[in-house]
Structure formats: C-alpha cells, structure tokens
Amino acid sequence: MTGSGTNPVQGTGDIDECGLSSTYDEPLLNVLAQVEQEELEEDRQGIEHHYWTAKRKNCCLVVFFIGFVLSICIAIVAPMVLAGLKQNGIVDNVVISSEKVGGFKQFQNKSLTGDNYLHFYFFNITNPKGVLRGEKPNLKELGPWVYNAYQLRSDFDWDKENDTLAYREHSYYVFNVNETKRLSGFDSDNVYITTINMLFLGIPYTVGVTYWEMVCNFLGWKTDEQKLFTKRPVSEFLAGYEVEVEINLFVKTYKIPIKFPGMYPNLTKEEDPSYKSKLVMKVGEQDINQVYDLVSWHGMNELEILCPYGANPLPGGKSGCPSELPCCQKHSLVKDINNNVSVWGNTTYESLYDYNANLVHGRNGEQFQPNVKKGSHLVIFNDIVWRALLFRNMNDEQVTYKGIKMLRFSPVETLFMNASTYPPNERYYHFGPQGLLANLSILEQGSELFASLPHFLGADPELLEGVNGLKPERALHNMHIDVEPILGQTMVEHVRAQLVALISNGKRWGKNKWFKHLPDRTYVPVAWFDVMSTINQKGIDEFKILYLVDDISKGCRIFGSILAVICFAPLFYSFILCCCEGDTDDIEDGCQEEIENNS
C-alpha cells in the first residue's frame, strides 16, 4: 500500500495565485499558445474588417458627396448655362446687327420660314337699279381670290452709333389659280364685279368743284347708274385703272387722265415707295426692347401726303377742300411747291401711345421685343391705313399652332370709336358711326372711303342695317396676330380689313338732280382682304430648338433635385452618427465599469 492517498508528482515548481504551477505541461502550453494565437488572429481580422468597412464607408461618403455636388451643378448651374445659350440664340435671331447673324436670312426673305398669302373677297351689288330707287344694297360675297405674297429686302446700311438699320423693301404678289379654284370655284381674277364707282367719288376733289359735273358727263356717265356704279374685273380693282377725259377748248382737244390707284396695286420696284426710299428701323443691339421699331417710313419721320384737294389739274377750277380735313390751300393762296399736308390732325395727347398721330413708330407686325408678357400691348404701324395701331392680349388669350404656344393680340376697342365717344380720334377724322377703323379720304385722292373690320364686325347696328347680305363672325372677320412670347415673333397673322364707300343723295351731289331717292350717307362695303402669314415647317423646326433647350433645362432641374436628395440622405445620416459616436463610447465605458464593480 502506498502512504495516505497522495498523488504522484508530475513536476515541481511554485504554485501561482490561480493554483497553477509555474512549470507547465508542454501540451497545456501549446493549447494556451494556440488559443492566444487564435485570439490575436481574430483581433487582427476584426481590425482589418473594421478598417476596410470604414474605408468603404468613407469611399461611399466621398461618392455621395461628389454626387451631391454634381446634382447641385445639374440642378442649378446647367440650367443657368442653358439659359445663357438660349438668350444668345434669341439675340442671334432677333437682333439683325449684321448679315452674319442667324435671323438675317429670314429678315431678308420673309418667305424663307413663312407662308404668306393675300385673300380678297368682293361684294357684288345685285340690285343697282333698286338702290337708286331707295332700296338697301343687296350684297353677295364672292371669293376669295388667293395670291401668294412675297417680300424681299436689300441694300442694307447699319448705323452702329444710332443703332439703326436702313434697307429697301419690295413686296409683290402672284395669282394662285389652284387655291382660288379650290376655295371659291374661280380659276381667274377676270371675274366682273358690280360695286360703287370709287373713281366717281373722288372726282369732285381731283378736278375741282367747278368742273366735276361736266367731267362726269364727258366720261360717259350719262345716267345715275353709270355714275354711282361700275362693273370691272377683280384684277382692275386691285391693280388700278385709268380713264381719260376729253375736253374741247378753242378747237383743241385736251385729254386728262384720271386714275383709280387700285386697292392693292402690284407695284414694280421703281414704283414701290418702300423700295424708292429706304425704311429705317431700330436694330436693338443697344436696347433689345427697341428691336424692329420703325424710325422712318417712305422717307418720312412724320406722315405727310400730297394734298388731294388742292391738286386741281383744270385751270380756273375751285378746290373742294372739306372743312374737317387738312388742305394745302387753307394755309396760303400761293400753293406750296409740293402741296404736302399732314395726313392726320396735329393735336397731341401726351399720355397716349399715339400722342403724335403723324409720328412714324411701332413695329411692322412680324417681330416684337422678346419675352412678351400676357395682357401686354403691342404697337403696330399699318401701311394700309398709315397709322400706328394698338393691339392687346385680351384676357391673357393663348393659342397653339403646330405645337407652338402663342399669345393672341387683337386691336383695342378705342380704334373703332368715333370722336364723340373717344375725342383723340378726331385727329383721324372719325366723325361717323362707331365701328370704322380709318377715314381713308385723304389717302385715296379725296374719295369718301373708310376701313372697318369685315362685315362690320363689332360696329354700330346702323351700319349693318344699311345693307343686306352681311353676317359678321368673329372667328372669320376679326383681326389678330399670334405672337410666340419667348422670341417675340409673329407666327400666325390675320390682318383683315374691309373697304367701305360712303354714298349720299342729290343734296350733296349734282345740285339735287342726281340720286334723288338714294338714302343719304349709306356705308357700302366694297371688298375685304385677309393678309395671312403662317410659319412654315422650316421655321417650326428651327424654333423648336428653343423648346428643346427649355425641356433639357427642366429635365436638369428635376434630375438634379432627385439626385441631390438621394446623395444628401446618407451624408446627413453619417453626420448624425458622427455627432452621436462620442456619447455612445461614454455609455459603453460606463456600463463596463459598472459590471466590473458589481463583480
């Protein structure tokens, strides 16, 4: 037996506080070393994992930060750059500062990016004999006769100091057989129309009141019907015609030509006043709000005309100056060499757009200042009625043509008011009923002719009641222009006007021998026209580049904003974590200390 149950000793050495011998068994040492190695490896892997995780996190944050900065550039900077490019494009198209700018070719040839037509409608009087018996004129509208219109500009002269451009302009038209036949059934403009004899209306002034009745007899106008009415082809009414008066004095025959100038004469370059005298307009390089503003028209800064009332070709005749219209013989017994008078009255109204009725100003209607606003006004100088007209975007009206959004402008109501209702219109001799746009007497050699909207649209009921056969419709007979507001360019134009003749009975004519039963002062429509201009596909394609820039700019704002939100969210989250990291470490240290104390 062994002694008292003791274990054999495997080794010797001191015992430490944990009850372990300072001398270890080899296997145990190896195990401890392996455990320590594994712990070190785990620590290394943990540190390495933490390092790469932190690095990836930092890389992601850098990417998000770059994305955020890029999104700001896309949302803010890119639209600003595009807006600058767009503005440069607008200036290049609108400001005709040289032959090298983008808009010059279109300015030089209006047909390049637009289709331009003239539509003429005539009123055939079907009861001329009945009118002389006191019946209302029965009117039958015929047409339209369609003409292709062309306008070419040349001989350009820039004045950089005054910011103006002087140029010659020639307009002409060509009969469009196919369109006329399609719309009206006529294949020629040689169709005869019975209407008021406008040449007869002007003879009292062109030959003088002394001889005009005698001249009418020499012209072969023996009957009242021959005097008051004429039957001629459409082509002559438009281009004009001439008759000769033969007078025998002292066994000698004198031939005096009397010419009706035509409603819309197709002039040659040599005859065209816009080609003979340069037009001058503002370029807008110094102030883009003045772009296309007329400075001079037909060589005039203020309107003058050869007095039709004092240009009496017959010796010894007395002038028939009307009391309310300007006349060169009112000012002096000795005629001025040119016999020129102001077209309109000289009274000024400082607060009005047309404070000086004779001042040449306003645009020609094809181009206005860029960035046209809703509800705004535009001033158009109309070369048919020789005056500046005020157009307004009424009720913020908008229209769309082939995908282009436009503002519609129409003439303001005051243009059609008589002088009793709107006193400034006394300068334009608006002494008749409401609804007449212009008194053309001084422009048409003294003939009592007027302009209105077709079919007396919007006029006094008495004008409509004076004739039969009219049916005004706003969609067909109103005058308007449709302006694209970004460029300020007219994309669609319908300048419509009606020529009206005033006829009176024998109390005024023929010493009470002529037209005894004719109603006094009847306004009879003769014809109306529609000057049409629409942008063509080439112009639309060029313009839609501006829309494309706007779409890209809008897309940049939307995409940039979304990207900014996506990139900002993780950046903000990381910022919150960084702010809270110190507090978390303090909490963890406190918990560990509490655990150790409790142990």
Mean pLDDT to the nearest integer, 359-372:
94
- Cβ(285)–Cβ(163) under 8 Å? yes
- Please give the pLDDT value at position 10: 47
Helix H or strand E encompassing 366: none
- Please give the pLDDT value at position 1: 47
Instruction: Give the separation between CA 365 and CA 425, rounded to whole angstroms.
Output: 22
For 370, the token pair is 């860029």
Using the Cα atoms of residue 443, residue 444, residue 447 and residue 450 in order, give the sign of their dihedral: negative
- Please give the pLDDT value at position 335: 46
222-252: pLDDT as tens digits? 788 988 999 999 999 999 988 876 666 666 7
Instruction: Give the separation between CA 429 and CA 418, rounded to whole angstroms.
Output: 8
Least confident of 47-56, 147-156, 281-290, 470-479: 47-56
| DSSP three-state, residue 113 | coil
Query: How does residue 536 score in pLDDT terms, banded at 50, 70 and 90?
Result: confident
Beta bridge mates, 522:
503
- Please give the pLDDT value at position 230: 94
For 540, the token pair is 């639309």
Query: How does residue 520 score in pLDDT terms, banded at 50, 70 and 90?
Result: confident
Which pTM value belongs to this model? 0.79
Beta bridge mates, 115:
534
- Please give the pLDDT value at position 474: 94
- Please give the pLDDT value at position 9: 44
Mean pLDDT of the chain: 81
404-424: pLDDT as tens digits? 899 999 999 999 999 999 999
For 131, the token pair is 């009118």
Neighbours of 408 (CB within 10 A): 19
- Cβ(364)–Cβ(380) under 8 Å? yes
- Please give the pLDDT value at position 2: 45
Could you tell me which residue, 330 or 281, shows the higher pLDDT?
281
The ranges assigned to domains in the chain are 29-83+551-598, 114-535
422-435: pLDDT as tens digits? 999 999 999 989 99
Query: How does residue 216 score in pLDDT terms, banded at 50, 70 and 90?
Result: confident
The gap between the terminal CA atoms of the chain, to the nearest Å, is: 46
- Please give the pLDDT value at position 319: 62
Q: Is the pLDDT of residue 587 over 60?
A: no
- Cβ(523)–Cβ(500) under 8 Å? yes
Q: Is the pLDDT of residue 7 over 60?
A: no
Reduced to 3 DSSP states, what percent helix, strand and coil does the chain have, rounded to the nearest 5? 35, 25, 35
Helix H or strand E encompassing 482: strand 480-484
- Burial status of residue 18 (CB atoms within 10 A of its CB: 0-12, 13-18, 19 or more): exposed
- Please give the pLDDT value at position 253: 75
- Please give the pLDDT value at position 71: 61
Instruction: Give the separation between CA 171 and CA 533, rounded to whole angstroms.
Output: 14
Least confident of 58-62, 106-110, 120-124, 148-152: 58-62
Q: Is the pLDDT of residue 4 over 50?
A: no
Instruction: Give the separation between CA 365 and CA 384, rounded to whole angstroms.
Output: 13
Mean pLDDT to the nearest integer, 311-328:
64
Query: How does residue 8 score in pLDDT terms, banded at 50, 70 and 90?
Result: very low
- Please give the pLDDT value at position 507: 63
Beta bridge mates, 253:
248
78-94 and 537-598 are packed helices; what angle lies between their axes, rounded to 10 degrees? 170
Beta bridge mates, 363:
380
Mean pLDDT to the nearest integer, 272-277:
94
Q: Give one word for 2, left, alpha or beta, with left for phi > 0 and alpha for psi -120 to 50.
A: beta
Beta bridge mates, 192:
233
Alpha helices in 411-530 (DSSP H): 461-465, 474-477
- Please give the pLDDT value at position 23: 54
- Cβ(407)–Cβ(368) under 8 Å? no
75-112: pLDDT as tens digits? 666 666 656 666 666 777 889 999 999 889 999 998 88
For 394, the token pair is 């009424």
Instruction: Give the separation between CA 348 and CA 359, rounded to whole angstroms.
Output: 11
Strand 398-401, strand 387-392: pairing: unpaired
| DSSP three-state, residue 158 | strand
Neighbours of 5 (CB within 10 A): 6
- Please give the pLDDT value at position 330: 57
Instruction: Give the separation between CA 215 and CA 543, rounded to whole angstroms.
Output: 58
Going from the C-alpha of 414 to that of each of 352, 373, 374, 428, the distances in angstroms are 12, 21, 20, 12
Instruction: Give the separation between CA 518 and CA 131, rounded to whole angstroms.
Output: 7
- Please give the pLDDT value at position 430: 92
Instruction: Give the separation between CA 122 and CA 184, rounded to whole angstroms.
Output: 12
Mean pLDDT to the nearest integer, 439-446:
86
H/E/C letters for each residue in 292-358?
A: CCEEEECCECECEEECCCCCCCCCCCCCCCCCCCCCHHHCCCCCCCCCEEECCCCCCCCCCCCCCCC
Q: Is the pLDDT of residue 325 over 50?
A: yes
Could you tell me which residue, 131 or 403, shows the higher pLDDT?
131
Using the Cα atoms of residue 459, residue 462, residue 467 and residue 472 in order, give the sign of their dihedral: positive
Query: How does residue 313 score in pLDDT terms, banded at 50, 70 and 90?
Result: low
Beta bridge mates, 483:
407, 490
Could you tell me which residue, 10 or 372, shows the higher pLDDT?
372
Could you tell me which residue, 2 or 474, shows the higher pLDDT?
474
For 400, the token pair is 């769309």
Burial string for 414-444 (b: 16+ CB within 10 Å, else e) reads: ebbbbbeeeebbbbbbbebbbbbbbbbbbbb
Q: Give ∠ CA 445-411-291 in degrees, rounded to 5.
A: 90
The secondary structure of residue 376, as a DSSP letter, is: -
- Please give the pLDDT value at position 333: 44
Q: Which amino acid is at 30?
A: N
Query: How does residue 311 score in pLDDT terms, banded at 50, 70 and 90?
Result: low
Instruction: Give the separation between CA 258 and CA 230, rounded to whole angstroms.
Output: 15
Helix H or strand E encompassing 147: strand 139-159
For 206, the token pair is 């062109």
Query: How does residue 5 score in pLDDT terms, banded at 50, 70 and 90?
Result: very low
Could you tell me which residue, 267 or 254, shows the higher pLDDT?
267
H/E/C letters for each residue in 16-85?
A: CCCCCECCCCHHHHHHHHHHHHHHHHHHHHHHHHHHHHHHHHHHHHHHHHHHHHHHHHHHHHHHHHHHHH
At a CB cut-off of 8 Å and minimum separation 6, what does 188 contact?
177
Query: How does residue 505 score in pLDDT terms, banded at 50, 70 and 90?
Result: confident
- Please give the pLDDT value at position 171: 94
Using a pLDDT cut of 90, give the percent of the chain over it: 50
- In 3D space, the residue among 458, 368, 362, 358 whose CA is nearest the CA of residue 414 turns out to be 458
- Please give the pLDDT value at position 435: 94
- Cβ(138)–Cβ(126) under 8 Å? yes
- In 3D space, the residue among 226, 316, 225, 212 whose CA is nearest the CA of residue 258 turns out to be 212
Neighbours of 171 (CB within 10 A): 17
At a CB cut-off of 8 Å and minimum separation 6, what does 424 contact?
347, 349, 352, 354, 414
Using a pLDDT cut of 70, give the percent of the chain over it: 69
- Please give the pLDDT value at position 11: 47
